[in-house]
Structure 1
Amino acid sequence: MSALEALGRGSRDNGFNFALNAHLWGCVNPLAAFGTEEQKLAYLPRLTSGEWIGALAATEREAGSDVFSLQTRALRRDDAYMLAGHKMLITNAPVADVLLVLATLDPGRGAFGLTAFLVERGTPGLRVRERVDKMGLSTAQMGEVVLDGCAVPARNRLGPEGGGLAIFNHIMEWERGFIMAFAAGAMERQLEACLAYARERRQFDRPIGQFQAVAHRLVDMRVRWEASRLLLYRFAWLKREPRAALAEAAITKLAVSEAWVRSCEDAMRIYGGYGYLTETGVERELRDALGSLSYSGTAEMQRQIVARWLEI
């Protein structure tokens, strides 16, 4: 958590920070948790050294937050599985060396048919379409993944048949709980920049920070940053033990993502017209932050998870 927060504080490249998290929580972490010794030896050294890049291929056109509706099929044939389907909005897909692909063995089995597979770049039947353009996080490459009769050795199945739901829930819990750590670092960096600007920029013969409207925005930014850090480190503390924290992960993801967006909006207001200029980078921070309301499950999905936990 501390390393990811420091990365967000020290680097303005939110796209890279996001892509790194997609690599860690979408591929490295589940491989370490569910992989066989053979799989760990084959992949983890290269994935953890940075030699290889990983990606999670779960999202489809009709299956975003509703992962149980995914249509990618996996058919067992002797010592291999034939994968067929179309994934979209896959972070790191254009540069990934290995993808963790979620597919269903039998749509009639619903969630219990989900199975995970490790598919290497260059596997026959695997195609990655060109990167897609986005409003923010521009250095995080996203693309579409097409699986057309893609033969994956049985040894590359991650976990048991039908074990994809447990793996996906594991991924989402860790990702939602940790992915916003870099945003907390970015919020601190942003606050420091806004404080410096509010002390330096003068209007009506005094620094703009002395105006209550500006000062209150700065206070709100500080409060959001402090509250975000508490939620993030509370989640990290909970994960010291092997216990589920799905609701806490959703709360953390929801609160920190919305806090980041609001603080970026405050920064735009503090900078005034200069915040609208690309040279300041303030508008880019807002564009990057807006993406956090969608990735790893939308804000609405996080609220639905917490609502179920409250037994409403």
Structure 2
Amino acid sequence: MIEWNEDQIALREGLDAWHEALSADHVENDEDGTFSWEKWKLVKESGILSLPFDERWGGLGQDLLTMMYVLEGLGEGCRDGGLCFSVTTSICSLGIPLEKFGSAALKDKYLPRITSGDAIGAHAISEPSGGSAALQMKTRADRDGDEFVLHGSKTFVSNGPIADLFMVYARTHPDGGPLGVTAFLVERDTPGFEIGNPIKKMGLRTSPLSELFFDECRIPATQVVGRVGGGFLVLDHVMKREILFSFIVNVGEMQHRLDRCIDYATKRTQFGKPISTYQSIANKIVDMKIRLETSRKWLYDTAERLLRGQNVTTDMAVAKLLTSEANLASSLAAVQIFGGNGYMAEYGLEKDVRNAVAGTIYSGTNEIQYNRIASMLGL
């Protein structure tokens, strides 16, 4: 059990003043599938985007565990799950790898824009024919002197319609396997780069998603993040933080949902007594508590092991599996506990179900996580 210090608690509690405004009209915005620029202004003002980055680029220099602790609070207090997802995407997809692997010139040019929220980040990995087989990508980047020329397309790009900066992964060697992929930082208005229209989706609707297209898109070699052929190292670093950051937000959401269900079950009466006195309801709530605490422990324990430099391949897969499935089970249980009310859109619980389904798919589908764990077991 981590004992949070006063500074960490103050950072998390400092977001409390923003939660109501960030949650405003979350049901209506989800129904419309709209990204709120007004809410993004509030996100910028809150300072949460700057937390994990060094002070020289306008950041607050907070460590991994502190960042997760604050994001857990965001998940607990903000009911706009899509907005939370756009926040973690911008931080993880572009800011985190840029600070770790980018050249000094790239950091100086772009990191202040990411930490302030003036630029929104996205990353482009998946392709229409590839899905979770990221290393089999067909998008290629051909060297031409001091430039690379990108050809191909990407799909399922969260923040795509609104992003200013993109971390694009492309093949730079046809037979290089993991060593044949390179990460490029691409600006939105680069000639030959086209952003598709927003794609309608089941959940997380306030976090827009699109395809990307590259046709003779010329990128200066100075825009390579890391080294040529080192894109897999960049991607591995990104995916670990993406799992820890996005799913600790889910832990906060599960905490809010648990508290809400306890309050409802103790006040709602059927046949003359609170429904919480019925074992079928009480057991659902107990299961919600167990899944919540198990997910929370796995995520923080995995983060601590990562900080110690240990191999967390299995831990990361288990944490992702547990949390995504716990979040989905928790959201379904909440609908059942609220009964007919839970099925109504105005209560926001059916939205939670749709959002939770996404967690079993993004950051590597749960089927891929099972395969990864099996491989680590020598199966």
What is the TM-score normalised by the length of structure 2?
0.81
Looking at structure 2, the residues matched to 21 and 68 of structure 1 have their Cα atoms a distance apart, in angstroms, of 23
Residue equivalent to 2:85 = 18
Alignment correspondent of 2:237: 170
Query: Conserved in 2, the CA contact under 8 Å of 1:177 and 1:248?
Result: no
Q: Please state whether the residue corresponding to 1:150 is helix, strand or coil.
A: strand
Shift of 1:44: 0.8
Q: Which amino acid aligns with 1:83?
A: L
Q: Distance in 2 between matches of 1:172 and 1:107?
A: 23
1:128 Cα offset (Å):
0.3
Does structure 1 residue 214 correspond to structure 2 residue 281? yes
Q: Does 1:132 align with 2:196?
A: no
SS in 1 for 2:211: strand
Which residue is 2:368 aligned to? 301
Whole-angstrom CA distance in 2 between matches of 1:191 and 1:39: 43
Cα deviation digits, residues 156-205 of structure 1 (max 9, x gap)? 01111111111111111222233200000000000111111101111100
Match of 1:87, SS state, is strand
Matches within 5 A, 1:237-252: 237-252=304-319
User: d(CA) in 2 for partners of 1:33 and 1:234?
Assistant: 22
* 1:56–1:100 contact (8 Å) kept in structure 2: yes
Q: Deviations over 1:136-175 (max 9, x none)?
A: 1011110010011111011001111111111111111222
* Alignment of 1:280 onto 2:339: no
Indicate the SS of the match to 2:186. Answer: strand
Mapped partners of 1:127, 1:210: distance in 2? 57
For residue 176 of structure 2, give the secondary structure of its aligned residue in structure 1: helix
Query: Which residue is equivalent to 2:76?
Result: 9
Measure how far apart 1:282 and its partner are. 0.8
Map of 2:267 onto structure 1: 200
Q: What is the count of residue pairs matched by the alignment? A: 312
Give the AA of the match of 1:130: N
Per-residue CA shift, 1:49-81, capped at 9, x if unaligned? Answer: 111111010110112210111100101111111
Equivalent residues of 1:178, 1:232 under 8 A apart: no
CA distance in structure 2 between the partners assigned to 1:253 and 1:96 by the alignment:
26
Q: Which of these residues, 61, 68, 74, is aligned with residue 128 of structure 2?
A: 61
Query: 2:182 & 2:84 partners in 1: Cα distance?
Result: 28
Q: Could you tell me which residue of structure 1 aligns to residue 104 of structure 2? A: 37
Q: How far 1:243 sits from its partner (Å)?
A: 4.0
Q: Find the residue that maps to 2:240 and give its secondary structure.
A: helix
2: CA distance, partners of 1:38 / 1:242: 28
Given that 1:14 and 1:137 are in contact with CA atoms closer than 8 Å, whether structure 2 keeps it comes out as yes
Could you say what secondary structure the match of 1:179 adopts?
helix
Query: CA offset at residue 41 of structure 1?
Result: 0.7
Shift of 1:24: 1.6
Unaligned runs of 5+ residues in structure 2 are 1-67
Which residue type is aligned with residue 242 of structure 2? E
Other-structure match for 1:271: 338
Which residue of the partner structure matches residue 221 of structure 2? 154
Partner of 1:180: helix, strand, or coil? Answer: helix
| C-alpha displacement of 1:239 | 2.6
Secondary structure of 2:156's partner? strand
Alpha-carbon displacement from aligned partner over 1:258-280 (angstroms, at most 9, x marks no partner): 00000111111101111110011
User: C-alpha separation between the residues in 1 aligned to 2:95 and 2:321?
Assistant: 24
Q: Deviation digits for residues 189-227 of structure 1, max 9, x if unmatched?
A: 001111111011111000111101000001110111111
CA distance in 2, matches of 1:275, 1:45: 43
Give the TM-score normalised by structure 1.
Answer: 0.98
The CA deviation string for residues 75-125 of structure 1, in whole angstroms up to 9 with x for no partner, is 111111100111011001111111000000122222221011000010000
Check the 8 A contact 1:180/1:253 in 2, yes or no: yes
Which residue of structure 1 aligns with residue 327 of structure 2?
Answer: 260
| CA-based RMSD | 1.0
Query: Residue in 2 aligned with 1:48?
Result: 115
Distance in 2, matches of 1:91 and 1:201, equals: 39
Identity, in percent, stands at 39
Report how far residue 305 of structure 1 moved: 1.0
Q: What residue is the counterpart of 2:24 in the other structure? A: none
Aligned counterpart for 2:156 among listed residues 73, 86, 89: 89
Over 4 Å off, 4+ runs: none
- 3-state secondary structure, aligned to 1:160: coil
Q: Return closer, same or farther for 1:236/1:110 CA change in 2, 3 Å cut-off.
A: closer
